[in-house]
Structure 1
Amino acid sequence: MNAKVTAVSSNNDYSFTKPNRPGITLLAGLGVEGDVHAGVTVKHRSRVAQDPTQPNLRQVHLIHEELFTEVGKDGFAVRPGELGENITTNGIDLLALPTGTLLHIGDEAVVQVTGLRNPCLQIDAFQQGLLKQVVGRDEAGNIVRKAGIMSVVEVGGAVRPGDTITVKLPDEPHRPLEQV
């Protein structure tokens, strides 16, 4: 597997998209330095409204670049950072990873996968009809979420485009990803 980082993004203001950066710094237990979603407790507005003391299981959002190619076949143009992710990857099937997987990114950083991003209506505000592209149903009628995965920072460090990603699966039995 030749998994790598293709882009990194962050924003210190609440907005749907995040500008690309030359690099980001992950802070253990917090998330992306300077990003609005960094912190020990939840930062997503709807989750804060429910219970602001919930642990932040969404410190770092990763999306696979292959999704952009997939939705591009149906006429949607999406670039890294535009769906609000912090790290855009290539060469790794993020959605197939089990809960608890460790992703070693670059020379130092390690994130632990916590679950699937649950895309919201803001995606349709970004591009009308895109939500149906990133949330669908499989042949059995089960909901399939494709808008990336969420993680927490286990070990901090710098992350830049071109960095390699190494996967360390948790001990079995593996638990499939659920929305967080």
Structure 2
Amino acid sequence: MGKIIAICTSDVRGVQKQPRDTAWLDQDWGIRGDAHAGHWHRQVSLLSAEEIAAFNEKGAGVQPGAFGENLVVEGIGLRRLPVGTLLGCGDAVLEITQIGKECHSHCAIYHKMGDCIMPREGVFARVITGGQIAVGGEIHVLPRTAPFPFQAVVITLSDRCAAGEREDKSGPAVAKRLTEAGYVVVEQLLLADEREPLERTLIRLCDQRQLDLILTTGGTGFAPRDITPEATRAVAERDAPGIAEAIRAASLRITPRAMLSRAASVIRGKTLIINLPGSPKACMESMDVFLDQLPHALALLRGTPQDCGR
């Protein structure tokens, strides 16, 4: 059980938020009147009061709202809660969607202290059930009545598609197939064939959003700018070669050019990353190989007990 010790909002982004005594959480939107509210996954930001106090002991002298956080919470180790955790705040319910954030430009606090806790300690949530919240109100972790569905991201790697010279057909086809199979596709991304941006994106999705599955399409061949396997392996913590090998073996029965695929399949944290080919047809053929086996694999990554003796 924890307590809300500060509620902070602002009319615009990128500024310190100001404290208020009460606020309304609107379903699938955020805090009414706050600049960060909207139909996205970071509707409400939270920080632990204990982390702010520890930072202030170093001479930071920051007040609630200084990091752009909406809620300062005492008594709950927010950073240790996994994505998908439900938090009850009075009648309102929040679902944690992201842990930490990428810092694109250093804030005034960083320039003063040489550090900022928001990128690593900030917790982000979306509003499942709306309601009023107030300073001094209780906040607590709620049990889930059922496991939340597997969450996935689809990333298309293509210079021409990213430049608007060609329509991306593979990414939407992969996302549609996943949705039909019961997955929640939380992001669809289109990137140029650049290794560093892909690595940063994979790390963000695995570490901060803690997704179950990432499927990439494109960039797995012999062309000089086909860098998807290299970027994928660079962020990997464990190898999962059997999936990529099974795709190649099945694809070889369709075309001998399948031997030219350099696609990888790896694990980072609790996220499975699988490289798919660039064409929509080849993507569907590849998904035919492994889609039925994914629920078992992803459940194991989540730590859900499974019967592996069959």
**1:60 Cα offset (Å):** 0.3
Structure label with greater radius of gyration: 2
Q: CA 1:154/1:34 → structure 2, altered by over 3 Å: closer, same or farther?
A: same
Aligned to 1:117: 100
For residue 92 of structure 1, give the secondary structure of its aligned residue in structure 2: coil
Higher helix share: 2
Aligned to 2:236: none
Which residue, out of 32, 43, 65, partners 1:59? 43
Whether 1:179 and 2:172 are equivalent positions in the alignment is no
Conserved 8 A contact 1:39-1:59: yes
Gaps of 5+ in 2: 149-205, 210-310
2: distance between equivalents of 1:61 and 1:126? 17
Whether 1:92 and 2:121 are equivalent positions in the alignment is no
Deviations 1:128-174 (A, max 9, x none): 25463527xxxxxxxx812x20000000011111000120255679x
**1:124 Cα offset (Å):** 3.6
2: distance between equivalents of 1:83 and 1:133? 8
What amino acid sits opposite 1:78 in the alignment?
A: V
What amino acid sits opposite 1:109 in the alignment?
A: A
Runs of 4+ in 1 over 3 A off after TM superposition: 121-124, 169-173
2: distance between equivalents of 1:104 and 1:59? 15
Q: CA 1:4/1:104 → structure 2, altered by over 3 Å: closer, same or farther?
A: same
Aligned to 1:141: none
Report the TM-score, using the length of structure 2 for normalisation: 0.45
Quick one: percent identity of the two aligned structures? 31
**1:20 Cα offset (Å):** 0.5
Q: CA 1:116/1:129 → structure 2, altered by over 3 Å: closer, same or farther?
A: farther
What amino acid sits opposite 2:58 in the alignment?
A: D
What amino acid sits opposite 1:23 in the alignment?
A: T
2: distance between equivalents of 1:119 and 1:10? 21
Conserved 8 A contact 1:29-1:152: yes
What amino acid sits opposite 2:19 in the alignment?
A: N
Aligned to 2:300: none
Q: CA 1:8/1:131 → structure 2, altered by over 3 Å: closer, same or farther?
A: farther
Gaps of 5+ in 1: 41-55, 136-143
Deviations 1:37-83 (A, max 9, x none): 1111xxxxxxxxxxxxxxx1100001111111111221111111111
After TM superposition, the structure 1 stretch with the greater mean CA deviation from structure 2, 26-35 or 119-128, is: 119-128
Report the TM-score, using the length of structure 1 for normalisation: 0.75
Q: 1:105-144 alignment to 2 at 5 Å? A: 105-106=89-90, 108-118=91-101, 120=103, 122-130=105-113, 132-134=115-117
1: distance between equivalents of 2:51 and 2:31? 22
Give the number of aligned pairs: 152
Q: Which has the higher contact order (CA 8 A, sep 6+)?
A: 1
- Root-mean-square deviation (CA), in Å? 2.5
1: distance between equivalents of 2:47 and 2:27? 20
